[in-house]
Amino acid sequence: MCRWSVLAKGATLSWVAVCTDNRRLMSTASLCGISCVTSSHSRRIILRSGSNQVTERRVYLDHAATSWPKPPGVLEACLEFQRDLGVAASRGAYLRGEQTDRAIAQVRSKLSRFLHLDDAYRVAWTSNGTMAIHAAIHSVLWQTDLRGEHVVTTATEHNSVLRTLADLQERRGLRWTMVPCDARGWVDPDAIEQAICSDTKLVIVNHASNVTGVVQDLERIGRIVANSEAWWMLDAAQSIGYVDFDPRSLGIDLVVAPAHKGLGGMFGTAFVVAASEVVPSLRSPWVGGTGRSSGTWTGPFEWLESVESGNLNGPSIASLGAALLSASTRSMADFQAKASDWLSRLRHQIARYASLRLVGYPDGPEDLQQVSRVPVLSFSSRTLGSHEMAMLLDSAMGLECRSGLHCAGAIHPFLGTDPQDGTLRMSFGHATSEADVDAAIQGIRLLGEVNA
């Protein structure tokens, strides 16, 4: 038995079905090529007909996942690299090989300058943020037996940190402490201080939450870590390109971030930036072809070369060069002022609907405690699940938002969000226009008024 109703009508239709046999309906729908999601709030299934069409207008609100569209020159740099050079880095003694090495070295220097660093730090390329995090953690904690080692991290971390630590705990005996956050996603630096003990080897901090956008207090955390024996690793995935920070003055030993989010680069490049004092103690979790000393296959090998084993993603690194050029012409302070106004308008719109719940603002939309934030906003609905909301916004208005837990496995109990359903997240970037923000406000109105 099925009861049907239309939830929203746009280029595609969103239908809601309340069914006695959801599993059968889901499998029939998927056989027919119809997109569907189940609601964790009810026994409802939401189906989208015409699911192969996308709406004419695209309002991209998922910049925390990856930025889109890319800044001018980024796609062209990728294409030019592939068309005009198109050879492997660190491999050839022919001219194009040398030009490739120089092009990649220039992007390393540009990135170092962007982070206010000089040769005292080393940039190692990886293929995405998750690989950079894995490389950094394993490079510090490379011993087979980790029973004497301890790591401090926070509840705001991405699963690429949490799962790596849990895996090292299970397989090699690592001990680690997860410092809680408050209902905004802010971590009290004093709690980090209390968690550090004499055998803490590494403190890992996510600079900005990918669920609430809250930015951590790096100055205070830096002073605390400096008073300990531990190294400090910063996950700047959500902050880089939006928040200016100086790893050297903050005493950060390792910075990891992907190039494809706030920096505006393409998929396929991320980096670990390591202070040169720590580099001799690091050991890469993987080894392989480096184009050098190929007659030896037993180490030790140089850390940076080993992390970069195999062919580098030259086109993507070249696109990061163009993205950094574009970033150097923008003011982060101007962007922050603009984004803070957007967030405020959206929060007040959410607060108008009793059916919607703003996440990460325990004092309400005024944000009385004034922590700084990157442009990320989460909310949930008392009647609709987060995936339902995302599908509705897309099918009715072409709004592309992220739903679920956002790979942030530990933060949700602290935010009071449903541990299965998570939040609907709208995130903004350098390419966001005022019209996009107006559309986001219309989207919130649709969700607030939908008769679920």
Ligand X SMILES: Cc1ncc(COP(=O)(O)O)c(C=O)c1O
* Per CB under 6 A, 239 contacts ligand X: no
CB of 154 to ligand X, least distance (A): 11
Q: Looking at beta carbons only, is 85 or 272 nearer to ligand X?
A: 272
In the block, tokens 């996603």 appear at 185
CB of 129 to ligand X, least distance (A): 2
Q: Site for ligand X (CB under 6 A): which residue of 14, 164, 200, 206?
A: 206
CB of 282 to ligand X, least distance (A): 20
Residues 445 and 379: beta-carbon distance below 8 Å: no
Q: Site for ligand X (CB under 6 A): which residue of 12, 14, 38, 128?
A: 128
Segment holding 416, helix H or strand E: none
Residues 428 and 241: beta-carbon distance below 8 Å: no
Residue with smallest beta-carbon separation from ligand X: 129
Q: Looking at beta carbons only, is 44 or 412 nearer to ligand X?
A: 412
Q: Is 237 left (phi over 0), alpha (psi -120 to 50) or beta?
A: alpha
Tokens for 147, please give them: 């029973």
Cβ-count burial 214-223 (b if 16+ within 10 Å, e if not): bbbbbeebbe
Where does this chain touch ligand X (CB under 6 A) — which range of 102-110, 231-239, 315-323, 370-378?
A: 231-239
Rounded to 10°, the helix 129-140/159-172 angle is 40
Q: Looking at beta carbons only, is 100 or 160 nearer to ligand X?
A: 160
* Per CB under 6 A, 216 contacts ligand X: no
CB of 130 to ligand X, least distance (A): 3
Count CA within 13 A, CB hemisphere, residue 189: 14
277 burial (CB, 10 Å; 0-12 / 13-18 / 19+) is exposed
Q: Looking at beta carbons only, is 10 or 258 nearer to ligand X?
A: 258
| Beta pairing, strands 376-381 & 423-427 | antiparallel
* Per CB under 6 A, 235 contacts ligand X: yes
- Helix, strand, coil shares of the chain, percent, nearest 5, are 35, 20, 45
Q: Residues in the chain, how many?
A: 452
| Beta pairing, strands 270-275 & 399-400 | unpaired
Of residues 321 through 340, those in contact with ligand X by CB under 6 A are none
Q: Looking at beta carbons only, is 78 or 237 nearer to ligand X?
A: 237
* Per CB under 6 A, 129 contacts ligand X: yes
* Per CB under 6 A, 126 contacts ligand X: no
* Per CB under 6 A, 238 contacts ligand X: yes
Of residues 284 through 323, those in contact with ligand X by CB under 6 A are none
Helix, strand counts (H, E) of the chain: 14, 17
Q: What is the DSSP letter of 189?
A: H
* Per CB under 6 A, 158 contacts ligand X: yes
Phi, psi (deg, nearest 5) at residue 83:
-75, -45
Where does this chain touch ligand X (CB under 6 A) — which range of 101-109, 140-148, 235-243, 342-350?
A: 235-243
Q: Site for ligand X (CB under 6 A): which residue of 210, 349, 395, 403?
A: 210
To 5 degrees, how large is the angle CA 160–CA 107–CA 337? 70
* Per CB under 6 A, 423 contacts ligand X: no
Task: List the x/- string, 255-274, binding to ligand X by CB under 6 A.
Answer: ---x-----------x----
296 burial (CB, 10 Å; 0-12 / 13-18 / 19+) is exposed
How many whole angstroms separate alpha carbon 189 and alpha carbon 155? 13
Q: Site for ligand X (CB under 6 A): which residue of 237, 255, 317, 351?
A: 237
CB of 61 to ligand X, least distance (A): 15
* Per CB under 6 A, 100 contacts ligand X: no
Where does this chain touch ligand X (CB under 6 A) — which range of 39-47, 126-134, 211-219, 284-292?
A: 126-134
Which residues form the interface with ligand X (CB under 6 A)? 65, 128-130, 158, 160, 206, 210, 235, 237-238, 258, 270, 407
